[in-house]
Amino acid sequence: MYYIYVLFLNNGEFYKGYTEDLKRRIKEHNDGFVDSTKNNRPLELVYYEAYQNKKDAMDRERYFKTGWGRLYLKKILKNYIKEKNKSKNLGGS
């Protein structure tokens, strides 16, 4: 299987990635082995999709990194984002 995934970072941003081993990759992010996320831990896996075909997964990751893709993610994660913002405004983590 091939996966695209979205992480919510400690700085309030989303990170989009691709992997063939989702559990291993999330552990690498959480353990600080990924340069682009190591300074923004803790992080949460908030979304993923699984694909049988590598090219399909890579195309989807590329889409999520476009303006339309970011808009799509904001739409499907709107309740998650709303809860995070509410928690942040109340002083929670």
Kindly list the domain boundaries of the chain, sorted by start residue.
2-89
Question: Has residue 86 got a pLDDT over 90?
Answer: no
Helices marked H in 1-93: 22-30, 54-64, 67-76, 78-89
Element (H, E) at 50: strand 44-51
Are 56 and 11 in contact, with CB atoms under 8 Å apart? no
93 has pLDDT over 70: no
Supply the pLDDT for residue 82: 87
In this predicted structure, what is the pLDDT of residue 29?
Answer: 98
State the pTM of this model: 0.88
- Asked if 49 and 2 count as a contact pair (C-beta separation under 8 A), the reply is no
What's the CATH class of domain 2-89?
Answer: alpha beta
The residue count for the chain: 93
pLDDT at 43 over 60: yes
| pLDDT class of 12 with cuts at 50, 70, 90 | confident
Asked if omega into 42 is within 30° of 0 (cis), the reply is yes
